[in-house]
Amino acid sequence: HADAAMYHAKASGRNNYQFFDQRMNQAAARRFELESSLRGALQRGEFELHFQPIVDTASHRLHALEVLLRWRRDGETLVGPDEFIPILEENGMIVAVGEWVIRTACEQSMAWQAQGLAAVPLAINLSARQFMHDGLVDSIRRIVGETGIDPSLVEFEITETALMQHGGQTLEILRQMNGMGMRLSIDDFGTGYSSLAYLKRFPVRKIKIDRAFVRELEASAEDRAIVAAVMALANSLGLSVVAEGVETEGQAGLLHGHGCQYAQGYLFARPLPAGQAARLLKRDCATDVLPATA
Ligand code: C2E
Ligand code: MG
Ligand code: MG
Ligand code: MG
Protein backbone atom coordinates (compact mmCIF):
# COMPACT_ATOMS: atom_id res chain seq x y z
CA HIS A 1 0.00 0.00 0.00
CA ALA A 2 1.94 3.09 1.16
CA ASP A 3 5.23 1.71 -0.16
CA ALA A 4 3.65 0.57 -3.37
CA ALA A 5 1.99 3.95 -3.85
CA MET A 6 5.27 5.72 -3.19
CA TYR A 7 7.05 3.52 -5.71
CA HIS A 8 4.32 4.14 -8.25
CA ALA A 9 4.44 7.88 -7.63
CA LYS A 10 8.22 8.02 -8.02
CA ALA A 11 8.19 5.85 -11.09
CA SER A 12 5.59 7.91 -12.87
CA GLY A 13 7.28 11.25 -12.48
CA ARG A 14 7.59 14.43 -10.54
CA ASN A 15 4.05 15.76 -10.80
CA ASN A 16 2.58 12.57 -9.49
CA TYR A 17 5.05 12.56 -6.69
CA GLN A 18 4.01 16.07 -5.63
CA PHE A 19 0.35 15.14 -5.87
CA PHE A 20 1.01 12.09 -3.76
CA ASP A 21 2.97 14.16 -1.27
CA GLN A 22 0.10 16.60 -0.90
CA ARG A 23 -2.36 13.78 -0.35
CA MET A 24 -0.07 12.28 2.26
CA ASN A 25 0.04 15.63 4.03
CA GLN A 26 -3.72 15.91 3.99
CA ALA A 27 -4.09 12.40 5.37
CA ALA A 28 -1.49 13.09 8.05
CA ALA A 29 -3.21 16.35 8.98
CA ARG A 30 -6.60 14.67 9.24
CA ARG A 31 -5.13 11.93 11.37
CA PHE A 32 -3.41 14.43 13.65
CA GLU A 33 -6.67 16.33 14.02
CA LEU A 34 -8.59 13.10 14.76
CA GLU A 35 -6.00 12.01 17.27
CA SER A 36 -6.08 15.30 19.18
CA SER A 37 -9.86 15.34 19.43
CA LEU A 38 -9.84 11.66 20.45
CA ARG A 39 -7.72 12.54 23.47
CA GLY A 40 -10.25 13.40 26.12
CA ALA A 41 -13.19 11.94 24.16
CA LEU A 42 -13.61 9.29 26.86
CA GLN A 43 -13.60 11.89 29.67
CA ARG A 44 -16.01 14.07 27.70
CA GLY A 45 -18.40 11.12 27.39
CA GLU A 46 -18.34 11.13 23.59
CA PHE A 47 -18.32 7.36 23.08
CA GLU A 48 -21.52 5.40 22.79
CA LEU A 49 -22.48 1.80 22.15
CA HIS A 50 -24.75 0.52 19.44
CA PHE A 51 -26.13 -3.00 19.33
CA GLN A 52 -26.66 -5.20 16.28
CA PRO A 53 -28.85 -8.31 16.46
CA ILE A 54 -27.42 -11.73 15.67
CA VAL A 55 -30.35 -13.95 14.71
CA ASP A 56 -31.15 -17.60 14.23
CA THR A 57 -31.29 -18.27 10.49
CA ALA A 58 -34.15 -20.76 10.83
CA SER A 59 -36.51 -18.74 13.04
CA HIS A 60 -35.07 -15.20 12.75
CA ARG A 61 -35.23 -15.09 16.55
CA LEU A 62 -32.79 -12.89 18.40
CA HIS A 63 -29.74 -14.87 19.53
CA ALA A 64 -27.32 -12.18 20.75
CA LEU A 65 -26.40 -8.52 20.31
CA GLU A 66 -22.99 -7.44 19.03
CA VAL A 67 -21.71 -4.34 20.82
CA LEU A 68 -20.33 -1.78 18.35
CA LEU A 69 -18.51 1.35 19.44
CA ARG A 70 -19.37 4.79 18.05
CA TRP A 71 -17.82 8.20 18.63
CA ARG A 72 -20.24 11.14 18.87
CA ARG A 73 -17.82 13.82 17.75
CA ASP A 74 -18.66 17.49 18.51
CA GLY A 75 -22.04 16.38 19.81
CA GLU A 76 -23.36 15.41 16.38
CA THR A 77 -21.27 13.53 13.81
CA LEU A 78 -21.28 9.81 14.48
CA VAL A 79 -17.87 8.36 13.63
CA GLY A 80 -17.47 4.63 12.99
CA PRO A 81 -14.77 2.48 14.59
CA ASP A 82 -12.84 1.81 11.38
CA GLU A 83 -11.87 5.50 11.44
CA PHE A 84 -10.70 5.77 15.01
CA ILE A 85 -9.88 2.31 16.42
CA PRO A 86 -6.58 2.10 14.50
CA ILE A 87 -5.57 5.40 16.12
CA LEU A 88 -6.58 4.21 19.60
CA GLU A 89 -4.62 1.00 18.97
CA GLU A 90 -1.55 2.95 17.98
CA ASN A 91 -1.51 5.38 20.87
CA GLY A 92 -2.61 2.82 23.47
CA MET A 93 -5.90 4.53 24.35
CA ILE A 94 -7.69 1.36 23.23
CA VAL A 95 -6.96 -0.20 26.61
CA ALA A 96 -8.95 2.43 28.53
CA VAL A 97 -11.64 2.79 25.85
CA GLY A 98 -11.94 -1.00 25.54
CA GLU A 99 -12.42 -1.30 29.29
CA TRP A 100 -15.10 1.40 29.10
CA VAL A 101 -16.84 -0.64 26.35
CA ILE A 102 -16.89 -3.81 28.47
CA ARG A 103 -18.10 -1.98 31.57
CA THR A 104 -20.76 0.04 29.76
CA ALA A 105 -22.05 -3.02 27.89
CA CYS A 106 -22.37 -4.95 31.17
CA GLU A 107 -24.10 -1.99 32.86
CA GLN A 108 -26.48 -1.70 29.92
CA SER A 109 -27.36 -5.39 30.13
CA MET A 110 -28.01 -5.09 33.88
CA ALA A 111 -30.15 -1.99 33.33
CA TRP A 112 -32.21 -3.83 30.71
CA GLN A 113 -32.66 -6.80 33.00
CA ALA A 114 -33.73 -4.48 35.84
CA GLN A 115 -36.43 -3.14 33.50
CA GLY A 116 -37.67 -6.68 33.01
CA LEU A 117 -36.29 -7.00 29.49
CA ALA A 118 -34.90 -10.22 28.08
CA ALA A 119 -31.35 -11.16 29.05
CA VAL A 120 -29.56 -11.70 25.75
CA PRO A 121 -25.84 -12.46 25.35
CA LEU A 122 -23.66 -9.52 24.34
CA ALA A 123 -20.77 -10.03 21.92
CA ILE A 124 -17.96 -7.58 22.72
CA ASN A 125 -15.04 -6.94 20.36
CA LEU A 126 -11.49 -7.08 21.70
CA SER A 127 -8.67 -5.54 19.72
CA ALA A 128 -5.16 -6.98 19.48
CA ARG A 129 -3.49 -4.51 21.80
CA GLN A 130 -6.25 -4.80 24.38
CA PHE A 131 -5.94 -8.57 24.29
CA MET A 132 -2.17 -8.35 24.79
CA HIS A 133 -2.51 -5.97 27.72
CA ASP A 134 -1.60 -7.72 30.98
CA GLY A 135 -4.46 -6.22 32.95
CA LEU A 136 -7.25 -7.51 30.69
CA VAL A 137 -8.40 -10.53 32.69
CA ASP A 138 -8.26 -8.63 36.00
CA SER A 139 -10.23 -5.76 34.56
CA ILE A 140 -12.88 -8.14 33.20
CA ARG A 141 -13.10 -9.88 36.58
CA ARG A 142 -13.49 -6.52 38.32
CA ILE A 143 -16.24 -5.41 35.93
CA VAL A 144 -18.13 -8.67 36.40
CA GLY A 145 -17.88 -8.28 40.18
CA GLU A 146 -18.95 -4.64 40.20
CA THR A 147 -21.81 -4.88 37.73
CA GLY A 148 -23.08 -8.28 38.85
CA ILE A 149 -23.55 -9.46 35.28
CA ASP A 150 -23.94 -13.18 34.64
CA PRO A 151 -20.64 -13.96 32.83
CA SER A 152 -22.39 -16.43 30.54
CA LEU A 153 -24.10 -13.38 28.98
CA VAL A 154 -20.73 -12.04 27.80
CA GLU A 155 -18.92 -13.28 24.69
CA PHE A 156 -15.73 -11.83 23.31
CA GLU A 157 -14.88 -11.52 19.64
CA ILE A 158 -11.29 -11.44 18.46
CA THR A 159 -9.69 -11.81 15.04
CA GLU A 160 -7.41 -14.71 14.16
CA THR A 161 -4.48 -12.37 13.71
CA ALA A 162 -4.95 -10.73 17.12
CA LEU A 163 -5.29 -14.13 18.74
CA MET A 164 -2.02 -15.34 17.26
CA GLN A 165 -0.04 -12.21 18.16
CA HIS A 166 0.00 -12.95 21.83
CA GLY A 167 1.97 -16.17 21.56
CA GLY A 168 2.36 -18.27 24.67
CA GLN A 169 0.00 -16.38 26.92
CA THR A 170 -3.05 -16.68 24.69
CA LEU A 171 -4.07 -20.08 25.97
CA GLU A 172 -3.80 -18.99 29.60
CA ILE A 173 -5.95 -15.90 28.99
CA LEU A 174 -8.59 -17.94 27.18
CA ARG A 175 -8.60 -20.50 29.98
CA GLN A 176 -9.14 -17.77 32.55
CA MET A 177 -11.97 -16.29 30.52
CA ASN A 178 -13.55 -19.72 30.16
CA GLY A 179 -13.05 -20.26 33.87
CA MET A 180 -15.18 -17.17 34.50
CA GLY A 181 -17.84 -18.65 32.19
CA MET A 182 -17.14 -16.40 29.20
CA ARG A 183 -16.90 -17.61 25.63
CA LEU A 184 -14.75 -16.60 22.72
CA SER A 185 -15.64 -16.19 19.04
CA ILE A 186 -13.26 -15.79 16.11
CA ASP A 187 -14.20 -12.61 14.22
CA ASP A 188 -13.73 -12.09 10.46
CA PHE A 189 -12.95 -15.79 10.07
CA GLY A 190 -11.02 -16.61 6.94
CA THR A 191 -9.39 -13.22 6.43
CA GLY A 192 -6.53 -13.35 8.92
CA TYR A 193 -3.94 -15.82 10.05
CA SER A 194 -3.76 -18.68 7.63
CA SER A 195 -3.13 -21.61 9.97
CA LEU A 196 -6.12 -23.49 11.33
CA ALA A 197 -4.09 -25.17 14.08
CA TYR A 198 -5.23 -22.61 16.63
CA LEU A 199 -8.78 -23.97 16.40
CA LYS A 200 -7.47 -27.15 17.94
CA ARG A 201 -5.27 -25.49 20.55
CA PHE A 202 -7.60 -22.80 21.83
CA PRO A 203 -10.98 -23.10 23.52
CA VAL A 204 -13.06 -21.32 20.90
CA ARG A 205 -16.84 -21.58 20.81
CA LYS A 206 -17.92 -19.82 17.65
CA ILE A 207 -16.59 -18.56 14.36
CA LYS A 208 -17.92 -15.60 12.43
CA ILE A 209 -17.61 -15.99 8.65
CA ASP A 210 -16.35 -12.69 7.30
CA ARG A 211 -18.71 -10.77 5.10
CA ALA A 212 -16.15 -10.97 2.26
CA PHE A 213 -17.43 -14.54 1.70
CA VAL A 214 -21.10 -13.60 2.12
CA ARG A 215 -21.27 -10.58 -0.15
CA GLU A 216 -21.26 -12.49 -3.46
CA LEU A 217 -22.59 -15.77 -2.15
CA GLU A 218 -25.44 -15.86 -4.67
CA ALA A 219 -23.23 -15.27 -7.71
CA SER A 220 -20.03 -16.98 -6.67
CA ALA A 221 -19.62 -20.77 -6.66
CA GLU A 222 -16.20 -20.22 -5.03
CA ASP A 223 -17.73 -18.39 -2.07
CA ARG A 224 -20.35 -21.12 -1.71
CA ALA A 225 -17.54 -23.70 -1.70
CA ILE A 226 -15.72 -21.72 1.01
CA VAL A 227 -18.85 -21.46 3.14
CA ALA A 228 -19.49 -25.20 2.71
CA ALA A 229 -15.90 -25.98 3.75
CA VAL A 230 -16.10 -23.68 6.79
CA MET A 231 -19.38 -25.32 7.81
CA ALA A 232 -17.87 -28.81 7.50
CA LEU A 233 -14.88 -27.75 9.57
CA ALA A 234 -17.06 -26.09 12.21
CA ASN A 235 -19.40 -29.09 12.43
CA SER A 236 -16.61 -31.56 12.94
CA LEU A 237 -14.97 -29.33 15.58
CA GLY A 238 -18.27 -28.62 17.33
CA LEU A 239 -18.18 -24.86 16.71
CA SER A 240 -21.20 -22.70 16.04
CA VAL A 241 -21.11 -20.36 13.07
CA VAL A 242 -22.36 -16.81 12.54
CA ALA A 243 -22.40 -15.32 9.04
CA GLU A 244 -21.59 -11.60 8.94
CA GLY A 245 -22.91 -8.97 6.57
CA VAL A 246 -26.10 -10.73 5.43
CA GLU A 247 -28.00 -8.23 3.32
CA THR A 248 -30.34 -10.28 1.11
CA GLU A 249 -32.92 -13.02 1.49
CA GLY A 250 -30.95 -15.01 -1.09
CA GLN A 251 -27.81 -14.96 1.08
CA ALA A 252 -29.79 -15.85 4.19
CA GLY A 253 -31.45 -18.78 2.39
CA LEU A 254 -28.14 -20.15 1.10
CA LEU A 255 -26.53 -19.83 4.53
CA HIS A 256 -29.44 -21.61 6.17
CA GLY A 257 -29.19 -24.30 3.49
CA HIS A 258 -25.52 -24.78 4.32
CA GLY A 259 -26.44 -25.34 7.95
CA CYS A 260 -25.22 -21.97 9.20
CA GLN A 261 -27.22 -21.42 12.37
CA TYR A 262 -26.73 -17.70 13.01
CA ALA A 263 -26.56 -14.57 10.91
CA GLN A 264 -26.04 -10.88 11.33
CA GLY A 265 -26.56 -8.12 8.81
CA TYR A 266 -28.63 -5.28 7.46
CA LEU A 267 -31.28 -7.76 6.23
CA PHE A 268 -32.26 -8.30 9.86
CA ALA A 269 -31.20 -5.06 11.51
CA ARG A 270 -28.52 -2.38 11.49
CA PRO A 271 -26.54 -1.58 14.62
CA LEU A 272 -29.10 0.18 16.85
CA PRO A 273 -28.76 2.76 19.62
CA ALA A 274 -29.58 1.38 23.09
CA GLY A 275 -33.16 2.70 23.09
CA GLN A 276 -34.06 0.92 19.86
CA ALA A 277 -32.26 -2.26 20.87
CA ALA A 278 -34.32 -2.27 24.08
CA ARG A 279 -37.49 -2.47 22.00
CA LEU A 280 -36.31 -5.77 20.53
CA LEU A 281 -35.78 -7.10 24.06
CA LYS A 282 -39.33 -6.22 25.01
CA ARG A 283 -40.78 -8.78 22.69
CA ASP A 284 -40.94 -12.30 23.97
CA CYS A 285 -37.70 -13.61 22.50
CA ALA A 286 -38.86 -17.19 22.86
CA THR A 287 -41.72 -16.80 20.44
CA ASP A 288 -41.31 -13.61 18.47
CA VAL A 289 -39.18 -13.04 15.42
CA LEU A 290 -37.41 -10.05 13.95
CA PRO A 291 -39.03 -8.61 10.86
CA ALA A 292 -36.77 -9.01 7.84
CA THR A 293 -36.33 -5.42 6.73
CA ALA A 294 -33.84 -5.04 3.91
P1 C2E B 1 -16.78 -6.44 13.23
O2 C2E B 1 -16.57 -6.84 14.63
O3 C2E B 1 -16.53 -7.45 12.17
O4 C2E B 1 -18.27 -5.87 13.17
C5 C2E B 1 -19.12 -6.01 12.10
C6 C2E B 1 -19.14 -4.76 11.25
O7 C2E B 1 -19.92 -5.02 10.09
C8 C2E B 1 -19.77 -3.56 11.93
O9 C2E B 1 -19.14 -2.39 11.45
C10 C2E B 1 -21.21 -3.63 11.41
O11 C2E B 1 -21.88 -2.40 11.45
C12 C2E B 1 -20.95 -4.06 9.99
N13 C2E B 1 -22.11 -4.72 9.39
C14 C2E B 1 -23.04 -5.48 10.01
N15 C2E B 1 -23.94 -5.94 9.13
C16 C2E B 1 -23.57 -5.49 7.91
C17 C2E B 1 -24.12 -5.64 6.58
O18 C2E B 1 -25.14 -6.32 6.36
N19 C2E B 1 -23.46 -5.01 5.58
C20 C2E B 1 -22.33 -4.28 5.79
N21 C2E B 1 -21.76 -3.69 4.75
N22 C2E B 1 -21.80 -4.11 7.03
C23 C2E B 1 -22.41 -4.72 8.07
P24 C2E B 1 -18.68 -1.23 12.43
O25 C2E B 1 -19.68 -1.03 13.50
O26 C2E B 1 -18.29 -0.07 11.56
O27 C2E B 1 -17.40 -1.85 13.10
C28 C2E B 1 -16.23 -2.10 12.35
C29 C2E B 1 -15.22 -2.86 13.16
O30 C2E B 1 -14.74 -2.08 14.25
C31 C2E B 1 -15.79 -4.12 13.83
O32 C2E B 1 -15.84 -5.17 12.87
C33 C2E B 1 -14.77 -4.35 14.91
O34 C2E B 1 -13.64 -5.00 14.39
C35 C2E B 1 -14.39 -2.94 15.28
N36 C2E B 1 -15.08 -2.55 16.53
C37 C2E B 1 -16.35 -2.12 16.71
N38 C2E B 1 -16.61 -1.87 18.01
C39 C2E B 1 -15.47 -2.18 18.68
C40 C2E B 1 -15.08 -2.15 20.08
O41 C2E B 1 -15.86 -1.83 20.97
N42 C2E B 1 -13.81 -2.52 20.37
C43 C2E B 1 -12.93 -2.94 19.40
N44 C2E B 1 -11.69 -3.28 19.77
N45 C2E B 1 -13.25 -2.98 18.10
C46 C2E B 1 -14.51 -2.61 17.75
MG1 MG C 1 -17.09 -8.31 15.80
MG1 MG D 1 -16.44 -9.27 11.88
MG1 MG E 1 -14.34 -6.61 11.07
* ipTM, 2 dp: 0.98
Q: What is the pLDDT of residue 293?
A: 45
Q: Which of 244, 246, 248 to mutate to test the pocket of ligand 1 (most atoms within 8 A of CB)?
A: 244
3-state helix, strand, coil in the chain (%, to 5): 50, 20, 30
Other Cβ atoms within 10 Å of 221 Cβ, number = 8
* pTM score, whole prediction: 0.90
**CA-closest residue to ligand 1 atom 17:** 245
**CA-closest residue to ligand 1 atom 21:** 245
Report the alpha-carbon distance of residue 161 to residue 248 in Å, rounded: 29
Q: What is the pLDDT of residue 286?
A: 45
Report the alpha-carbon distance of residue 204 to residue 222 in Å, rounded: 26
Ligand 2 center–CA 111 separation, angstroms: 23
**Identity of residue 109:** S
State if residue 69 touches ligand 1 by the CB under 6 angstroms criterion: yes
pLDDT < 50 stretches in the chain: 1-7, 9, 286-288, 292-294
Q: Provide CB contacts within 8 A for 191, sequence distance 6+.
A: 159, 160, 210, 212
